[in-house]
Structures are given as C-alpha cells and as structure tokens.
Chain A
C-alpha cells in the first residue's frame, strides 16, 4: 500500500481540530523537520490512521476511531500550528 499524504485526511483533521489543518505546520519531535501537514506520509490502512515524518519516518500522529469517539495521539509532534489565513 502506497503512502498517501496529509491532503487525504483533511476532512478527518478538520473534524478533530475544528479547523483546516492540511496547511498547518508540524514539527517532528524526532528529527525536527518542519513541514506542512499535507506533506507528511499518511497510511489509511494501518489500524487507525497513521501520519509519519517524510524525512525520518517517525510516527507523528495516530488517529483511532471507536464508535463515535476519536482518539488522537500527537506525541510525535513537537509543535503543530494552524496556518495563518
């Protein structure tokens, strides 16, 4: 399964964060890469949705749906700032 990118989960991220997030700037807690969410690697076929750093492959974010609840793990992100409009 090819990795997609952050564009593919724009709807899910908007739902979770309450705002547009594909242009948000994330910082990888492992390697420090600073890049738009749209440019991360995204795997939809994992258990849950997994976002990884395009440079070091560290896990940045995991979103798991359970019934109507969404659990989000952001420990792999050192920072995540929505883009200024």
Chain B
C-alpha cells in the first residue's frame, strides 16, 4: 500500500545460544545469534518461547542488555519458582537453539535524539538490564546527555554489571542503595529508595528531566509515586514492571 509504513511482522526465529557470562550467583547474561534480527533500540525487549516435549509452551519477555550494534544479549535472573529462568540460567548451553521474537516495545525506549533532557534511571534488582543497553548505547554514539543511575540492590554481590557501572564516566553518575546488607565501610546509600534519596539524586525539575524506572512492581509503583510527589510530570516518568521479587 503506497503511503503507509511497512509493518514489520513479528515472527518467531530460531536463535543460537552464544557466550554466557555469570553476572552474579543468580544472574546470567546470554548472547543470542538471531538470524535476520532487525536492529533494536535501547530499552526494547524480546520474547523467548520454550516448548516442552509434551507440547507445553512457556513464553517470557526479557529486556535486551546489549546495544543495537552488539550481538543481542539478555540478562536473566533465576527465580526460585520460575518456569523459564532456571532453564535459561542453569541448563542452557552454548550452541543450543531457542525460539525468540523481537525487538518489542516502543514506550520504554530512550529517545536519544532529545539531548536537552537529563536522564534519571532508577533500577530495582534486574531492572537494571535495559539501562545497561541505554548506557552503553549512549557511550557508543558519543551522546553527552547528563545521566544518573540510581540502582537498588539487596547487597553488593547482587549488583549486576558492577565492574562496568563502576567504570562509567563522561557525564554518567551511578549510585547504589543496598537494601538488606551493606559491606563494612559502605559509603553508598542504604535502605529502600525513598523521598529523601530521590530528592538527593533526582535532577531538579527546571532541567526537564526524563525518568525511567524499571524493577519489581512494588518498587516501580513506589518510586514513580515519589517522583510525581517531587513534581515530575507523569508523562516524564516512564515505567516498566516485571512482577514480584
């Protein structure tokens, strides 16, 4: 049809598992070689479909951890009662094939063409995964948007991508808050993300910041409410929830 945008059909493809990296005791990054993958935008997802021998099918959505120019990678946290994550983090081997479709999503993506707005990224647990894609992409393209990441984790060993996050520079400030356990001499923040911490870390309103929050549902609800309480307009606060934690 002339004059209409070409609509990309979302089809399941067979991806081959590549390198895998253990990020923490329960979190693994998995590279996927996906034929005919349409380049994604930082913040997008992909769906994974596993089919059991008896025909039972389980589908899950995972944030993409890599930049548009890297091999596609997801970072998966093993959930104790999970159906899919234990398989992905324990049983999957390089060379295995799994069904994948994507890229998915157009809301929780970073509009890097809008450099005027400083970026506030607030992550709870494995909610940091899409932000890794955003931060790497920002760096790769030489974008200078002032950026702050506030990352809430249970303890220091639970921090995903810690070496990479600690090494960020050029306009990116990373701060952690540890909710359950702090190592001796910890100088970062402690406890849950609350009004006081956001007041300290969040960009002032007059800079028209753009905020992204990703994490467990209760975390996202509480941080979003706190940011709106600080005066952030609702349409400058983008949220993504992945359920219980």
Contacts and interface: CB of A to CB of B under 8 A. Distances in A.
Contact of B108 (A11, A38, A83): A38
B33 interface: no
Contact of B107 (A1, A4, A18, A37): A37
Main secondary structure of the interface of A (DSSP, over half): mixed
Interface stretch (B17-25, B156-164, B236-244): B236-244
Contacts of B244: 1-2
A36 B109 CA distance: 13
A23 B44 CA distance: 12
A3 interface: yes
B141 interface: no
Interface residues of B, number: 26
B10 A7 contact: no
Interface stretch (B97-105, B145-153, B167-175): B97-105
B101 A4 contact: no
A83 B216 CA distance: 26
Interface residues of A, number: 24
B159 to A, nearest CB: 23
A80 B226 CA distance: 29
A23 B107 contact: yes
Interface of B: 5, 7, 9-10, 45-47, 59, 61, 101-102, 104-108, 216-218, 238-244
